[in-house]
Amino acid sequence: MHRRISIAAAAAALAVLAAGTNAAAVDANPRPKPAQRVEYFTEPGGHPHHTTVPAPRTPPRPLLPSAKGDGHVTPVVENGPVGSKLDIVFVGDGYTASEQDAFHAAVRAKWERMSAVEPYASYRKLFNVWAVDAVSRDSGVSGDPAQGVVKNTALGSGFYCDGIERLLCVDTAKVESYAAKAPAADLVVVLSHSAKYGGAGYNDVVSQVGYDGIATASSDNDRSDQILVHESGHSLGKLADEYQYDEYGTYTGPEPADVNTSTLTAERMTAQRAKWYRWIGRTSPDGGTVGAYEGGGYYPKGLFRPTADSLMRSLGREFNLPGREAMIAGFYRHATPLSGVPGQGTSVGRGERVSVRPGSATTEVRWYVDGREAVAARGRTSVVPRSLGVPADGRQHVLSARGTDRTDAVRDPELARRLTAEVTWRVVR
């Protein structure tokens, strides 16, 4: 899949460039540092803000010889082959060699909280989760607890980035080099070793390296997981922010491409069968009914959002109904509704058990022998070919399983048509 090729290629390119760069020449003639746009959060439950920070040096300097265990990859959750699942890579920063177990515990805790939020909760089996060890010389991160604190860490994590206390920045080039060590990466999360509230979202500058975003969060703060969920709304769901800044005034531009902001009122949206019209009038999990509420996409006037106060407006909330649908679409850009064990196209015997792994409880499984459904096996996740009537006639037969996600969280017919996957096996003597 393209993301896996591009992340490996990016890492290789960075390594080649670094190896061929004269460090003194770089110091004498530093390249301009382009700005990276980041989103940050000043307080739990508050509206996010944006700023720009300098990008890391391009190409990066060669890393110092790494400590033992640096770059080690640990599978935290394995639900199937990387080609069929959405792969989230956690990279730790501010953890010394003796603290990597604490990093792994933080990954498990953060994923548990992230995956408790819908629609993650209903689609846990669509994800693989990996932990990549980045060994730091110092424990903790810069800017914690005070601005003058400086720590030597693998990824350069630090609060007070751009002078903003809660903005937790990292060297994204170094993050990329560590994330590339995982088998696959669709979303990258940096857990910085701190209990201080803070984080950041890098969603505008990383698409070129093949995955959907980098988010940072303090590892030991029990509210920073909401930052990660919000940022995944941008990176996976391609959702716009639904909050506004008063100084932006009135929006006068064209209809936005984002699925959760619009220039249309609810009446016009329904008449034109546009944007989230299929959800209008429905009770939304974030409270109230879906409609068209003025203020969103940073503009207080001229743009509308689907609900009064969703997770894309304030932390600690739920995704609204259009947002959940967009997140599910994002999940399925990287994952498939069904994977098989053994894998696609494998030869199996009549008496050999084969299994499938549905991505959600709403995925309906059907089995077929040479194209004809074995109705009695509908809904099973494990079968033996001969029990489905595969004959012992010495010929090769085809066993297949088809999974269709019939979730009621998807109303877009075009998306619904994509929520089917099939796994096939050759049944031999």
Q: Collect contacts of 286-293 with beta carbons under 8 A, ≥24 apart.
A: 286/310, 286/311, 286/317, 286/318, 286/319, 286/320, 287/317, 290/320, 290/321, 290/322, 291/266, 292/262, 292/264, 292/265, 292/266
The reported pLDDT for the residue numbered 427 is 96
- CA nearest to 419, candidates 344, 343, 356, 330: 330
pLDDT at 312 over 50: yes
pLDDT at 62 over 50: no
pLDDT band for position 47 (cuts 50, 70, 90) = confident
> Is residue 28 scored above 60 in pLDDT?
no
Average model confidence (pLDDT) across the chain: 88
* Tokens of residue 7, six digits: 């992340």
pLDDT at 229 over 90: yes
Whether the predicted pLDDT of 3 surpasses 80:
no
pLDDT reported for residue 60 = 44
Query: What confidence tens digit (pLDDT) does each residue in 65-107 have?
Result: 567 889 999 999 999 999 899 999 999 999 999 999 999 999 9
Q: Give residue 71's pLDDT.
A: 94
| Superfamily per CATH, domain 2-235 | Collagenase (Catalytic Domain) (3.40.390.10)
Whether 2-235 shares its CATH topology with 338-428 is answered no
pLDDT at 58: 46
Give the residue-averaged pLDDT of 264-289.
Answer: 98
CA distances 27 to 20, 54, 59, 358, Å, are 14, 16, 12, 53
pLDDT of residue 192: 98
Tens digit of pLDDT for each residue in 239-253? 999 999 999 999 999
Task: Please tell me the predicted confidence (pLDDT) of residue 53.
Answer: 87
Ordered by start, the domain boundaries in the chain are 2-235, 246-332, 338-428
The whole-number pLDDT of residue 49 equals: 82
- Residue 32 reports pLDDT greater than 60: no
Burial of 106 (0-12, 13-18, 19+ CB in 10 A): buried
Which is higher by pLDDT, 394 or 105? 105
More confident residue, 379 or 223: 379
The CATH classification number of 338-428 equals 2.60.40
Confidence of residue 205 (pLDDT cuts 50, 70, 90): low
How high is the pLDDT of residue 269? 98
Question: 221-225, 271-275, 403-407: which range is least confident on average?
Answer: 221-225
Average pLDDT over residues 396-420: 97
How distant, in Å, are the alpha carbons of 39, 66, 164 from that of 141?
19, 18, 15
pTM: 0.88
